[in-house]
Amino acid sequence: MTLQKWLRIGLVGALCAIASPLAMAPSAQADRRIIIRSPSHEDHRSHEERHRRYPIYERRRPVRRQVTVEFIAQGDEWANVYVDGRRVFSPSNYANRRKRFTFREGAYDIKITGADFFDVWAEGYLDIGRDDTNIIVVSFSERRGVSVSGDPYAWIPVSTRRR
């Protein structure tokens, strides 16, 4: 081969190396990575089977979404809401009976008590982010218990009776 052919091959190779990532990026979706495995040359399969390439789609772990959870205290009882053992909301009297929080998707241990920590009204897990719901409303009272809007399967009760 002459020097011109070698230079032409090198130039074409450099252009392919630069252009292939630019051409492939729009075709791949943001949440997927495409892996193409080619068969090895030592394979004893037919010529057609060796040159087939099958794309393998691998899902990347999505970024954890933020979900708004609103707690609404119904009735006029004093209450406390504990999330993962920490008191986050204490509705009292008739004012400030609702409060909004932003949680990352996941499961949270929820305990709703009366004014006394040992007067447990409801206890369970709030599993949020399992579907496309952006807002979950948790309504509670001493007599009615807990009701959840937005994702009816988000509330998983541990105990429903009073202790």
**99 phi and psi angles, rounded to 5 deg:** -150, 140
Query: 75 and 24: one domain?
Result: no
- Integer Cα distance of 25 and 105 in angstroms: 29
Query: 29 and 54: one domain?
Result: yes
- Integer Cα distance of 120 and 140 in angstroms: 12
Q: Contact 40/58 with Cβ under 8 angstroms?
A: no
Domain of residue 131: give its range. 66-159
**126 phi and psi angles, rounded to 5 deg:** -110, 105
Query: 101 and 146: one domain?
Result: yes
Instruction: Return the H-helix or E-strand segment holding 64.
Output: none
Query: 86 and 147: one domain?
Result: yes
Q: What is the CATH number of the domain that holds 111?
A: 2.60.34.20
pLDDT per residue as tens, the chain (163 positions): 677 776 677 766 666 666 565 555 554 445 555 555 555 545 555 655 555 565 555 566 666 678 999 999 998 888 999 999 999 999 887 778 889 999 998 889 999 998 888 889 999 999 888 788 889 999 998 888 889 998 888 888 986 555 4
| pTM across the whole model | 0.58
Q: Which of 133, 127, 130, 135 is nearest to 154 (CA)?
A: 127
